Amino acid sequence: MKVILLGAPGAGKGTIAKLLTDYDGSIQISTGDILRAAVKAGTAVGKEAKAYMDAGGLVPDSLIMKIMEARLQEADCKKGFILDGFPRTIPQAEELTTLLKKLSITFDLVVNLDIPRDVILDRLTTRRTCSNASCQEIYNIKSNPPKPDGTCKKCGSPTIQRDDETEEAILNRLETYNQKTAPLIDFYRKGGLLKDFASLSSQETVDGIKKSLKK
């Protein structure tokens, strides 16, 4: 499948992308994960991106497009891919359209995860993430806690609250989403590729996406 996931921070893009990769072997491409790995590795990209990320703002479009143009041409993308956290602005979406044309790739579906703001806020403040860059498993201290000592159930590394999960950064991320990313919903709706999913259960959403893909 070739799918774009749209939704506010905390809407469940990462969780749903992981469930979809289990379904047909398509790969998850998360620009957030790529950027966090770059920050951790201290690369030039990571150094440029860190301040924007910590404040809950967006990394410049030019940097993201450079990363994605290279990423979409890697061999594993042939299996299909789920874009999680990209595109995030109208310019990114426009450049993606051009890039996909150039690469002769067409999309199956754009998924809009439509989750109420109070649910999102609760999820973001209770989220924990595995600190191991190659794992990054996501937990929730209420509904899906890590091991009692706070370590990851998958790889045993400590789980942490991300630098952009302070209350101030969370409010900034939601504001940035409303201003810059929410307009993509109409952009893709006009193209006829968008479908809305409002369920709070990831499994129900994934089942709905599978159904839409079969049609």
Q: Can you give the binding site for ligand ADP, defined by CB under 6 A?
A: 9, 31-32, 35, 52-53, 56-59, 64, 85-86, 88, 92, 164, 173
Buried b (16+ CB within 10 A) or exposed e, 177-211: beebbeebbebbeeeebbeebeeeeeeebbebbee
Query: Is 127 a catalytic site residue?
Result: yes
For residue 179, give the DSSP letter.
I
Q: Which is nearer to ligand ADP, 143 or 214 (CB)?
A: 143
Pairwise CA distance, residues 64 & 76, whole Å: 19
Q: Which is nearer to ligand ADP, 117 or 211 (CB)?
A: 117
Q: Which is nearer to ligand ADP, 60 or 191 (CB)?
A: 60
Query: Is 117 a catalytic site residue?
Result: no
- Position with the least CB separation from ligand ADP: 32
Pairwise CA distance, residues 34 & 95, whole Å: 19
Classified as helix, coil or strand, 140 is strand
Cβ of residue 15: shortest distance to ligand ADP, in angstroms? 11
Cβ of residue 32: shortest distance to ligand ADP, in angstroms? 2
Amino acid at 56: G
In this structure, are strands 81-84 and 2-7 parallel, antiparallel, or unpaired? parallel
User: 110: which strand partners?
Assistant: 4, 194
Q: Which is nearer to ligand ADP, 51 or 211 (CB)?
A: 51
Query: Is 102 a catalytic site residue?
Result: no
Cβ of residue 204: shortest distance to ligand ADP, in angstroms? 21
Q: Which of 36, 50, 127, 128 is catalytic?
A: 127
- Do 123 and 10 touch, CB atoms closer than 8 A? yes
Cβ of residue 86: shortest distance to ligand ADP, in angstroms? 4
**Which of the residues are catalytic?**
13, 88, 127, 162, 173
